[in-house]
Amino acid sequence: MSITVETHCPYCALDCGLKLHVDQGRVTGSTKWKGSPLSRGGLCTKGITAWQQVHHEDRIRTPLVRWDGRLRPATWDEALDAAANGFLKLRDRYGPAVNAVLGGGSLTNEKAYLLGKLARLGLKTPHIDPNGRLCMTSAGAAAMQAFGVDRAMTPLEHLPAADVVVVVGANLPDAFPLIMPLVTRARRRGTKFVVVDPRGSKLVKDDDIHLAVRPGTDTALAAGLLREIAVRGGVDWPFVTDRTTGADDAIAATEGWDLERTSLTAGVGITEIARAASWIAGARNGMILHARGVEQQVNGVQGVLSWINIALARGWAGRKGCGVMPMTGQRNGQGGREHGQRCDQLPGYRSIDDPMDRAVVAERWGVTPEELPGRGRTYVELLHDAERGAVKGMLVMSANPAVSGPNGARIRRCLDAVEHMVVVDPFMSETARYASVVLPGSTFAEEDGTITTTEGRVVRIDQAVPPIAIRGDLDVIRGLAHRLGVRDKFDFHTGREVFEELKALSAGGIADYSGLDWDALRDKGGVFWPATTDNPDGTEILHTERFGHPDGLARMVPVVPSGPSTLPDADHPLVLTTGRHRDHYLSGNQTRRIPAQADRAPAPILEVHPRTAAIMRLVEGEPVEVTSHQATITLGWIPNDRLRRDTVFVAWHWEGVNDLTDDALDPISRIAAVKHTPVAIRPAVTTVGPSVPALRGEAVGA
């Protein structure tokens, strides 16, 4: 019998809807779901081929346990016993904090919630943090500080209602392809675009202002802009006075950042900065879309705060066509940072440090507040802790740090040092090579649940086929919980059952899901949180009357401009920045296996400005050697005249690219500064590339 199942793309956080075709228990294709929210059936190349991962020949179909140095097929009972016993032995010997959990933003809300519960109640460890630490934490920390809520302010469909849209460090055409129809609609309506990015993309049109900022200097550029907006009388004082605090200090902190100094520091022309300031100052409605370019920096939180100050100074909040929009990356990068898989957090965006929050959660979970572990360490720190022996057990579900972690050689040393590594993944990942137990994970089609889009819209994932390895992620969590002695607290068989517990527990939290209804989520095309029982239809536009802080006011935080931690020098004169290719997703463990995607982008290619290439004597068609303080790798290259001359760019979806990057962390968000690495380039003497492993046909690492 053949059926279709409405669900959402597994990759980026636009979460485009699609219909999966299921025939005789197999997913055989997909078609447009025209009634789906936001994209209305549109899909990019990745979304069109996503269904091919479900029954892919490389899927891990049986658990693997390392015996005599090799991963060999095992039964589920053997593998789950080995996984749990390894953690228990380490805990007996060294205490609970020796075990750590790395989660991920691809997990549904329900799995993220259960993984947090498993870490705290089952492993009894404070150490759980998701790969979203590498992604959304600068944005989240800044939003919490400024607004008291970490969510995009308004639906993306409202983009055409803005007079000006400022796009800061967001590569929209490649990273969020299905936002482009909205951009086109906005342009037709007369919306102006200011693009702040060292690399021009297909987004930038002739009538736009492109501020090709020197990487790592957004705080300076934003300070200069705020100063100029203030000088031009562009501060919306009635809004600022009624709805914010700190404006005077925030504006005072930009003292001295006149156009000349700003231009020199940020590497952008005076005229362009002045024009941008005049557009922004003159726009009643405006939106700022920001992403990883400004955030994955040692001053990532400050960078975001400096752009937020501009939005607040202009009164761009609380109404249609206005708002600050952190462009969340992974399909559930939003919900995955709300429900307790972060080291500082309990479900519903509750704080693990707050006694009231701890009391509520402890009571629901049937433990005392004292039994709930406190704040743990963050993602990259936990990996580094393994290198020094403080972490010896690691459960990895939906993360692939061997490819995506900064300073790859060090990450490999850290992974190697883990004594007991358990990886749950639908495909053999580079990280799973270090595992003592590999458990088959599920793809997006195999379990039900909910995810939360970049807009803050909660949507439903329906199961199309049962887990192909019999057990899915939820069963794995339940199986581990039983063996860790907390069977009674993990009696779940479906995502929907977990959803009911999660939503009840979120009541009163910042991310309040308590008014959501499983059936209504489908009928309404998703619901924006907060959604309470009094307001089950949810909240599309945030902050219409009050911001999230107890006094209802937003904070304008003074930002003193700062730069990157390691500056270019004579030996490393250029800055390498890393990002996305349209046809691959993150560590590539899914998309590199899909032939159409692999054919479109078979290997990483360095982009270099043609003038820089000429100075460095690069030859077209010949490889280039890239050297950072961390490593040297060899890549193919292409000219790109839309890049700054002092900047080179590469997409990082292949193992080896991150060998180049620096693992300096932002002091607040603990995000890694992968957008800024000083490098040298020269023609390569050999043609050896970074190790781009052949992924096809290595499902069983036996």
Ligand X SMILES: Nc1nc2c(c(=O)[nH]1)N[C@H]1C(S)=C(S)[C@@H](COP(=O)(O)OP(=O)(O)OC[C@H]3O[C@@H](n4cnc5c(=O)[nH]c(N)nc54)[C@H](O)[C@@H]3O)O[C@H]1N2
Binding site for Mo ion (CB under 5 A): 135, 329
Among 166, 178, 235, 403, binds ligand X (CB under 6 A): 403
When the beta carbons of 320 and 600 are compared against ligand X, the nearer one is: 600
- Measured between alpha carbons, how far is 76 from 470 in angstroms, rounded to an integer? 9
Interaction between residue 63 and ligand X (CB under 6 A): no
Stretch that binds ligand SF4, among 5-13, 151-159, 314-322, 388-396 (CB under 6 A): 5-13
- Measured between alpha carbons, how far is 385 from 265 in angstroms, rounded to an integer? 36
When the beta carbons of 109 and 442 are compared against ligand X, the nearer one is: 442
Amino acid at 351: S
Interaction between residue 427 and ligand X (CB under 6 A): yes
Please give the residues from 22 up to 81 whose contact with ligand SF4 meets the rule CB under 6 A: 39, 43-44, 46-47
Write down the least CB distance from residue 131 to Mo ion, Å: 8
Nearest Cα to Cα of residue 690 among 559, 588, 554, 537:
588
Write down the least CB distance from residue 56 to ligand SF4, Å: 17
- Measured between alpha carbons, how far is 114 from 473 in angstroms, rounded to an integer? 10
The item of Mo ion, ligand SF4, ligand X, none sharing an interface with residue 376, based on CB under 5 to 8 Å by kind, is none
The item of ligand X, Mo ion, ligand SF4, none sharing an interface with residue 203, based on CB under 5 to 8 Å by kind, is none
The item of ligand X, Mo ion, ligand SF4, none sharing an interface with residue 198, based on CB under 5 to 8 Å by kind, is ligand X
Give the total residue count for the chain: 702
Please give the residues from 172 up to 231 whose contact with ligand SF4 meets the rule CB under 6 A: 176-178
Half-sphere exposure of 669 (CA within 13 A, CB side): 34
When the beta carbons of 32 and 629 are compared against ligand SF4, the nearer one is: 32
Residues 6+ apart with CB under 8 A from 451: 8, 15, 108, 109, 331, 332, 335, 458, 459, 461
Write down the least CB distance from residue 143 to ligand X, Å: 15
- CA distances in angstroms from 653 to 133, 414, 584, 605, listed in the order given: 18, 20, 7, 11
Rounded to 5 degrees, what are φ and ψ at 222? -65, -35
Interaction between residue 170 and ligand SF4 (CB under 6 A): no
Q: Which two tokens stand for residue 265?
A: 């520091």
How many CB atoms lie under 10 A from the CB of residue 374? 11
Write down the least CB distance from residue 390 to Mo ion, Å: 26
- Measured between alpha carbons, how far is 110 from 501 in angstroms, rounded to an integer? 9
- Measured between alpha carbons, how far is 395 from 103 in angstroms, rounded to an integer? 8
When the beta carbons of 135 and 312 are compared against Mo ion, the nearer one is: 135
684: left (phi over 0), alpha (psi -120 to 50) or beta: beta
Interaction between residue 32 and ligand X (CB under 6 A): no
Q: 């080291």: which residue's tokens?
A: 343
When the beta carbons of 289 and 313 are compared against ligand X, the nearer one is: 289
Count of residues of this chain found to bind ligand SF4 when the rule CB under 6 A is applied: 14
Amino acid at 664: A
Write down the least CB distance from residue 32 to ligand SF4, Å: 11
Please give the residues from 215 up to 254 whose contact with ligand X meets the rule CB under 6 A: 215-216, 218
H-only helix segments in 378-494:
379-387, 401-404, 408-417, 473-483
Interaction between residue 663 and ligand X (CB under 6 A): no
Interaction between residue 150 and ligand SF4 (CB under 6 A): no
Percent of residues in the chain assigned helix, strand, coil, to nearest 5: 35, 20, 45
Write down the least CB distance from residue 381 to ligand X, Å: 15
Q: Where do contacts with ligand SF4 occur on this chain (CB under 6 A)?
A: 9, 11-12, 14-16, 39, 43-44, 46-47, 176-178
Q: Where do contacts with ligand X occur on this chain (CB under 6 A)?
A: 12, 104-107, 131, 134-135, 168-171, 174-176, 196-199, 213, 215-216, 218, 291-294, 296, 327, 329-330, 333, 397-400, 403-404, 424-427, 429, 441-442, 473, 577-580, 582, 584-587, 589-590, 649, 652, 658, 661, 674-675
